Each structure stands twice: as C-alpha cells, then as structure tokens.
Structure 1
Amino acid sequence: MEENKMGSMKINKLIMTMSLPIIISMLVQALYNIVDSMFVARVSEAALTAVSLCYPIQMILVAVACGTGVGINALLSRNLGLRKQKNAEQVALHGLMLAGVNGLVFALIGVLFSKQFLQLFTTDPEILSMGISYMQICTIFSIGVFVQITYERIMQSTGNTVYNMIIQGVGALVNIILDPIFIFGYFGLPAMGVTGAAVATVIGQLIAMVLGIVITKYKIKLIQVHIREFKFDLGLVRNIYKIAIPAILMQSIMSFMTVFMNVILVQFSTLAVSVFSIYYKLQQFVFMAVAGITNAIIPIVSFNFGAKNKKRIIETINFSLVFATIIMLAGTIVFQLFPEQLLYLFDAKEDMLAIGVPALRIISFSFLFAGVSMILCSVFQALDHGKNSLIITLLRQMILLVPCTYILAHQFGLNVSWISFPITEGICCVLSLYYLRKVKKETINNLDKEEALLNL
C-alpha cells in the first residue's frame, strides 16, 4: 500500500504543496466568474439581470456541494489515518451517492420552482424567460458540480491537490471557450444568449466531472472506488453531515449577509451598494488564497487526528496561521496603498471614489483577524468541533456584522459604518483563539494518552 504523505511529509512542505494548487484553481474560478459576466452583459442589461437573479441559487448549490465535500474529506482522511481502508472507501462511495441525491434535489427545485423564485424579484417577462431557462439548465444538470467536487475531495484526502487544479482549470477553460460560441452563435451555431451561457456552464462542469472520475480511477491509488462494494450505512451519512452541515451553513450565510447589507446600504445610495459589491469581488482574491490553505489543512488535520499524531496537528495549525497572516498582511497593504487603482478596474468615477477609497482602506484592517478565524474554523471542523466553526461564522457574517453596520451607519454615517468589519473580525478572532485553547485541552492534548493506551 502506498504511504499517505499526510502522515510523513514535512508539514511546511506538505501545506505548501497541497494548498498552492487549490489556491490557483480558486483564482481561476474567480477570474472565470468575471469573464462569464462580461460575456452575458454584452447580450443586454436584462440578460445580466436574469443571470444575477439566479446567483443566490447557484451559491446555495455550490455551498451544499462544497459543504458535503468537507464532511467527506474529513471523514475519509480520518479513516486513512486510522488505516481503515475499507471504511475510507465506503466514505467515498457514500459521498458519490450523496452527490447523486443532491443533484436530483436541485434538479427538482429547478423544474418546479424556478419561475416562483424569480417572480420574487421581477415581473419583467423578458427577464423571467431568460432567468427560468438559465436556472433550469444549471440545476437539472447540477450532477456535474456535485460529482466533480466529490472527486476533488477524494483527491484532497490523499494529498493529491494538483489534480484539483487541473480539473477546475479544464472545466473553467471549456466554459470560457464555449461561452461566446453559444451565446453569440459562432461557427454556424444559433445565438442562444443566456441559454447558451447556461449550456456552456454545464458542459464545462460535466467535462470536469468525467476528468475527475478518470483521474481517480487511474492516478489515485490510495482510494479505489468500486460501486459494486457500496453498502448503505445511515450512520455514516449522519457522520458526514455532522461535519458537513456547519460547512454548508457557513457558505450559505454569505448570500444572506449580502442581501441584508444591501438593504442597509441602499438607504444611502445605490452607489454604496455598488462599492460593497466591488469590495466583495476584490477581497475574493485575498480570501480565496486563505481558503486554499483551509481546504488543504482539513485532510491533513483529519488524517493526523485519526493517526493520534498530536505533534503534526500542532505544527499544521501553527504554520497555517503564519501562512494565512502573511497573505492577509499583503492584501491589507495592497488595499491601503492602491484603493483608487483597484476601483479604477471597475471604471470608478469621483463619486464612487469618495465612498470606495475609505471603504476599502477601513475594511482591509479586518483581513488579519479574518485569516486567523478562517484557519481555526477549518481546524475545528477537522477535529469534530464543527459547532465552534458555525458559531464563529454566524457571528462574522450575520449576528455581529449586520447589526453593527446598521447601528454605525445610522448613528455616524456611511463612512464610519465600514468600521463594523474590523470590529466584528477582531471579536471573532479572539473567540476563535479561545475555542482553540479549549479544543487543545479537550481533544488535541488527549491524543498522547490515547496513543499510549493503543501501544499497551
């Protein structure tokens, strides 16, 4: 049996080699989202609005896929650390089963509720027609997303993150190439507009899914997936979602937070909403780098948790915190020194600069605190303390941030309201460190005792 490098490779090198491909693939996805919107915007303003209205459903779909993937990843890595090969393979098989079920659920949602959902926001028949077409195609064929992400998590659990980069990169590249062909009707094809954008999206996802299946079959030797060996275990499904549900909620909360923040900001001006939207797109390039680290350390911590290796868990936590802090510090410096240049990327005029420059500078002070919370939330998930992650994320995205923004905005004005971000992240950083101290005492420090008992 091939040795799993998560139990042997030097931690610093392991985290770097695992996280960098994930970071690159996430940045590719971020760039793709921008390019995709640019193509749709060239069709018409109504087309861009139709796609934008479907975005919350797409965010929730990805949240369910990635959150379920976190549960699969952590449980699979832990069983590999315990050298329970059959159990690990059953986790992978149950992950694929859940991918199929989730794909079916979202397909039904798309078929039955697309019109009702879009009618919550618009009555324009043109926007409704395009939005329904886009949403139904993306949800009916969402099996591609769910299976692709499941295979990515199987690869991550064995330390093979370079393949993730390849899968996501190929999927995004196919999408970008097909977008103009299907949207505008090149090479003799009819111009399909928004429908074409949806078709290009699902083709890219399905190709990525097939690539994931092939790579896992021929390149991932630590896990062999054979459907005929599947044995349904409700307890295993519960264990996957015990870890997955907090992760799903954490990723879903962002979409709700954006809605509430827009409600607060629109009272000042639509320009304030635009500035927040621009900030959100810009900060993705900083936060996604740290998210790449969190994706890498979940299987590392889970594997060594299963292997009762306290030393490697502590080393992983310490190096990840340093790595994330360096990235967030770099992001803060860029936002402090070049806010105007960042806003010019979105054709900002004087009125937008007046709001945007102080907003970017003030909010970026929160980055260092946020990096600590993000890393520790992933550690808590890997160590079966998902409740801590959920609490911190709820505080960061909703419970503290939204009321704090509302109070500051109404008492002191728009520019002061941005201080809610560093205040919220600072409080959550302190709470994360407090939870880490508790987790060390209750879980990590006991691993030495458990290992000693096993060696008796």
Structure 2
Amino acid sequence: MNTRTNDLGRDPVHPLLLRLALPSILAQLVNMLYNIVDRIYIGHIPGVGAAALTGVGVTMPVILLITAFSSLIGMGGAPRAAIKMGQQDNDGAERVLGTCFTTLLGISVVLTVFFLAFGRPLLMAFGASESTIDYAVAYMNIYVCGTIFVQMALGLNTFISTQGLTRISMMTVVIGAIINIVLDPVFIFLFGMGVEGAALATILSQAVSAVWVLKFLSSSKSSLRLRKKYLRPDPKILGAVLALGVSPFIMQSTESLLNLVFNTSLQWYGGDLAVGSMTILASMMQFMMLPLMGLTQGTQPIISYNYGAQNNGRVRQAFSLLLRYAIGYTVFFWVLILAVPQLFVSMFTSDPQLVEYASWAMRIYLGASCIMGAQIACQQTFIAVGQAKSSLFLALLRKVILLIPLILILPFFFENKVMAVFLAEPVADLMATTVTVIMFTIQFRKILAKNEPHSKEEPV
C-alpha cells in the first residue's frame, strides 16, 4: 500500500486537496454506513422492526457522547500536531500524540463504567417508553463495552489523516465498516440475536479498526509514531488539546443533548411514531454531515500545516476551495431530499405509517440544509488555524443557544406541536449560518494578518 506523504507545503493546492479530501469523504460515506446499517437491518426485523428501531434510536445520545469524547482528543490533538509539523517540530508533534493516546485510554474506562451503571434510567430520560426500553438497554449494554475500541479507532485515526495519509485513514473506516455490514445480518437474522447482534457486530468491527490504527502509528510508515517516552500525559499539551478540541466535542456532545430534547418533546407531542421518525431524520442528517466532515478533514492538514509555516496564500486557497465544495454539496443534498424523501425513509422501514410520517417531517427538518456548507467550512477552518474561542462559540451557538430553546418554545406558537418541534432545526440553521459567515468574514483577515505570510499565492 502506498503511504507516500503528500507535501502539504509545496504541492499545488487544488489537486492536493482532492487527493486528501476524496479518501476522507469516502471514509465518511463508509462511516455513515457504519452508523446507520444497524438501523436499516433492525428496522426490517419481522414483527418488531418499528419498535426495535425506535428503541435503538433512543441510544443515539449515548453513542454520540462516546464519539464526542474521541473528537475532543483526536480533533483537538491532530491540528496541534500538524501545526508542530509545519514548524518542523516532529518531537513536539509526537508528544501531542502520546498525550492524546493515554488520555483516550482513561476516558474509555470512565465512560464504560458510567454507562453500564446508569444506562437504563438515562435511556428512559432520552425518550424510551415501556415498549422500547428493553431494545434500547440490550443494544446499549453491549455497545458501551466496546468504548475503548471507539476511542482508539476514531480518536487516533485523525493523527493519520493529519499527516496527509488520508488513504490509510480511510482504510481504518472501510475495514471496520465492511466487517460490520457482513456481521450484522449474520448476528441479527441467522443467529437470531436481534438488537444484541447488531451491537456485537459494531464493537467487533471497531476493535479491528482500533488494531489497524495502533499498528500503523507504531510502525516506521508513520511520520508520527507512538513512543513509550511520550505516553505520560503532559498537562500543558493536554490543556492546549482540550482548548481546541472542545469545539468539535460540543458539536457532537450537544447532539446527544439535542437528541434528548428532540425525543422527549416528540414523545410528549407525538408518541413513539414521532420518536421513530426522529431516528430516521437523525440518520439523514448524518447523510449530509459526514461527507462534509470528510471534506473538512481532508482540508484541515493543508490549512493547519501552512498556517504553522506562515504560508497564508495556501491557507486562503484551501479555504476558498473548501467553501465552494461544501456549499455545492449541501445544495445538491437539499434538492434531493425535497424531491424524494420517501426514497430515503423506505431504506429504514417498511412500515407504511412510519414512511408517510417521516417523509412529511423530513421536508421540514432539513428545509434549510442547503446553507449548512458555509457554516461548516467557516467553523472547521477556525479549528484548523487553532482559534479555540471562536470555534467554541460557534459550536455553542447553533445547538445550545438557538436550537434547544427553539425546540421548547416554538410549540407554544403553533397548533401543530410536532411540526413546530421539527421546524426548530431549519430556523436555527438559518440564524447560526448567518452569524457564522459574518463573524468569519471579519476575523479571518485579521488572523492571517497576524500570521506574517512569507510566500505568494499560487494558482488554484
């Protein structure tokens, strides 16, 4: 396998971005299958598919929170390591990697113990009912036992992609996803394990991905290597990692809180049918967001490295391309969703009532998704250049400051309460994107002005 490192500081920006971003996007598309294939199979279990799908759906806050902690360390550490590499400080970059590895291990232990101890009452709070709680608990108890594999696979894979080795990082996801897709029907249907089989297939797949990542980062093929002398956590490095990682952490952990607020509100106003629809809508949001995250992950090494090297021309070029591709993708996705929502809903369920209900809700919930490309491009660029405070504010803005209050407030102004809950999403998207673009336009120029560029821009 070719592990040649792309020259982040000298290769032409546009082809370099495509070489890095396309494998990352493919990895996220496969990761999307990783995340939703369980729900697709579970939703088609004969007789109990709709109830089982709803039950697994209420475990989403737990899964999102576990994933968020991997982002806290991985997405906080990888840009720091890339900036160090741009400054020609490879030892400093490896110190970041070692601190992040040990921190991820500690987080895994704490999360596993916590969710095994308090999982059932949490799931009831997340919107489970008496008819769905058993499915939710069965799935969650097995899934959380694989927390360490999730942390290693997702948290450390960012240190492969930040070296420009996006094909290798893509394989981390592809290997796990293929195993998961193969094992799911075997465990669920052939062995008759139901939701427990889906969870077991997932953690076994993550375990293989984790071994792949650790093996690569310990080999001579990696520019950044896990070394025993750097495994003791450095408080100063950890503080810098947490400061930058808190933004992606909040983006994902507030998805957990958001899911809780959505599910409880929908359970109150619309019952299990509304909650089951939300499971499908959340999956469709992943359809949109994960390829966008792949695009930004492919662009981040270019921006971070060249920002560290004070090469502002290349930083501008990379951001401009990121913005154009992100907006183009979200507009395409938006048109497709509005045109044929039933096509996507039917992937998850064959229940005609749920198909009709979720198709109606999807047009409302994703009504402003066309503008999300601009928000993600700007927010992720703040992270890539180490602007922790700005990225933190924008992470809080959309979900905590705007969306959650809107979910609770809008039903008081509409006769159709369920519609009002779904409407909160596009209203928050419109407001948050407007603020993000204005803020980025003002600050980005100032950030680069302080970075003392030393080279001219190259043709895109």
TM range (shorter): 0.7 to 0.9
Distance apart, 1:116 and its partner CA:
4.6
Distance apart, 1:125 and its partner CA:
11
Q: TM-score if structure 2 supplies the norm length?
A: 0.85
Please list the CA deviations of residues 399-452 of structure 1 after superposition, one character each: whole Å capped at 9, or x if unmatched: 223444555443244457655444322322221122213332432112126999
Match of 1:242 in 2: 243
User: Does residue 436 in structure 1 map to residue 437 in structure 2?
Assistant: no
User: Does residue 225 in structure 1 map to residue 230 in structure 2?
Assistant: no
**Are the equivalent residues in 2 in contact too, given 1:47–1:127 (CA < 8 A)?**
no
Distance apart, 1:176 and its partner CA:
2.5
Structure 1 residues 148-157 or 177-186, which shifts more?
177-186
Distance apart, 1:63 and its partner CA:
0.9
**Are the equivalent residues in 2 in contact too, given 1:107–1:136 (CA < 8 A)?**
no
User: Against the structure 1 CA distance between its residues 145 and 334, is the aligned structure 2 distance closer, same or farther, given a 3 Å change threshold?
Assistant: same
Match of 2:176 in 1: 171
Match of 1:289 in 2: 291
Match of 2:202 in 1: 201
CA distance in 2, matches of 1:164, 1:243: 21
CA distance in 1, matches of 2:131, 2:261: 27
Return the letter of the residue paired with 2:200. Answer: V
1:427 equivalent among 426, 431, 440: 431
Match of 1:93 in 2: 98
Return the letter of the residue paired with 1:291. Answer: M
CA distance in 1, matches of 2:442, 2:314: 18
CA distance in 2, matches of 1:343, 1:150: 31
Distance apart, 1:77 and its partner CA:
0.5
Distance apart, 1:285 and its partner CA:
1.6
**Are the equivalent residues in 2 in contact too, given 1:106–1:140 (CA < 8 A)?**
no
Match of 1:372 in 2: 374
Please list the CA deviations of residues 48-72 of structure 1 after superposition, one character each: whole Å capped at 9, or x if unmatched: 5654443321210011112311011
CA distance in 1, matches of 2:260, 2:359: 19
Return the letter of the residue paired with 2:446. Answer: E
Higher normalized contact order (CA 8 Å, seq sep 6+, divided by chain length): 2
**Are the equivalent residues in 2 in contact too, given 1:71–1:244 (CA < 8 A)?**
yes
User: Against the structure 1 CA distance between its residues 193 and 408, is the aligned structure 2 distance closer, same or farther, given a 3 Å change threshold?
Assistant: closer
CA distance in 2, matches of 1:85, 1:200: 37
User: Against the structure 1 CA distance between its residues 196 and 331, is the aligned structure 2 distance closer, same or farther, given a 3 Å change threshold?
Assistant: closer
Distance apart, 1:113 and its partner CA:
2.8
Return the letter of the residue paired with 1:257. Answer: L
CA distance in 1, matches of 2:55, 2:363: 32
Distance apart, 1:314 and its partner CA:
0.9
Please list the CA deviations of residues 85-127 of structure 1 after superposition, one character each: whole Å capped at 9, or x if unmatched: 1001111111111121111112221443334534656696995
Structure 1 residues 336-345 or 142-151, which shifts more?
336-345
**Are the equivalent residues in 2 in contact too, given 1:155–1:220 (CA < 8 A)?**
no
Larger gyration radius, structure 1 or structure 2: 1
CA distance in 2, matches of 1:275, 1:193: 20
1:36 equivalent among 35, 38, 52: 38
Gaps in structure 2 of 5+ consecutive residues: none
Distance apart, 1:247 and its partner CA:
1.5
Q: TM-score if structure 1 supplies the norm length?
A: 0.86
Match of 1:142 in 2: 147
Return the letter of the residue paired with 2:75. Answer: V
- The 5-angstrom pairing of residues 92-171 of structure 1 reads 92-118=97-123, 120=125, 127-128=133-134, 132=137, 134-171=139-176
Please list the CA deviations of residues 296-339 of structure 1 after superposition, one character each: whole Å capped at 9, or x if unmatched: 22332221111111111111111111000110111122123223
Distance apart, 1:237 and its partner CA:
0.8
Please list the CA deviations of residues 253-290 of structure 1 after superposition, one character each: whole Å capped at 9, or x if unmatched: 11222332344444553444444443332232222221
User: Against the structure 1 CA distance between its residues 21 and 124, is the aligned structure 2 distance closer, same or farther, given a 3 Å change threshold?
Assistant: same
**Are the equivalent residues in 1 in contact too, given 2:312–2:455 (CA < 8 A)?**
no
Return the letter of the residue paired with 1:25. Answer: A
CA distance in 1, matches of 2:227, 2:182: 34
CA distance in 2, matches of 1:94, 1:106: 19
**Are the equivalent residues in 1 in contact too, given 2:334–2:366 (CA < 8 A)?**
yes
**Are the equivalent residues in 2 in contact too, given 1:67–1:251 (CA < 8 A)?**
no
**Are the equivalent residues in 1 in contact too, given 2:54–2:275 (CA < 8 A)?**
no
Structure 1 residues 173-182 or 208-217, which shifts more?
173-182
Match of 1:356 in 2: 359
Question: Which contiguous aligned blocks of 4+ residues in structure 1 show a shift greater than 6 angstroms?
Answer: 449-452
Q: Secondary structure at the match of 1:447?
A: coil
Return the letter of the residue paired with 2:437. Answer: L
- The 5-angstrom pairing of residues 173-322 of structure 1 reads 173-184=178-189, 186=191, 192-218=193-219, 220-266=221-267, 268-270=269-271, 271-322=273-324
Q: Secondary structure at the match of 2:452?
A: helix
CA distance in 2, matches of 1:416, 1:202: 37
Gaps in structure 1 of 5+ consecutive residues: none
**Are the equivalent residues in 2 in contact too, given 1:4–1:222 (CA < 8 A)?**
no
Distance apart, 1:245 and its partner CA:
1.6
**Are the equivalent residues in 2 in contact too, given 1:109–1:139 (CA < 8 A)?**
no
User: What is the aligned length?
Assistant: 445
User: Against the structure 1 CA distance between its residues 196 and 363, is the aligned structure 2 distance closer, same or farther, given a 3 Å change threshold?
Assistant: closer
**Are the equivalent residues in 1 in contact too, given 2:8–2:306 (CA < 8 A)?**
yes
- The 5-angstrom pairing of residues 324-363 of structure 1 reads 324-345=326-347, 346-347=349-350, 349=352, 353=356, 356-357=359-360, 359-363=361-365
**Are the equivalent residues in 1 in contact too, given 2:54–2:132 (CA < 8 A)?**
no
Q: Secondary structure at the match of 1:224?
A: coil
User: Against the structure 1 CA distance between its residues 139 and 125, is the aligned structure 2 distance closer, same or farther, given a 3 Å change threshold?
Assistant: same
2:27 equivalent among 25, 28, 33: 25
User: Against the structure 1 CA distance between its residues 388 and 207, is the aligned structure 2 distance closer, same or farther, given a 3 Å change threshold?
Assistant: same
Distance apart, 1:199 and its partner CA:
2.9
Q: Secondary structure at the match of 2:182?
A: helix
User: Against the structure 1 CA distance between its residues 177 and 349, is the aligned structure 2 distance closer, same or farther, given a 3 Å change threshold?
Assistant: closer
Match of 2:68 in 1: 63
CA distance in 1, matches of 2:62, 2:424: 27
CA distance in 2, matches of 1:403, 1:388: 21
Return the letter of the residue paired with 1:426. Answer: L
Distance apart, 1:363 and its partner CA:
4.5
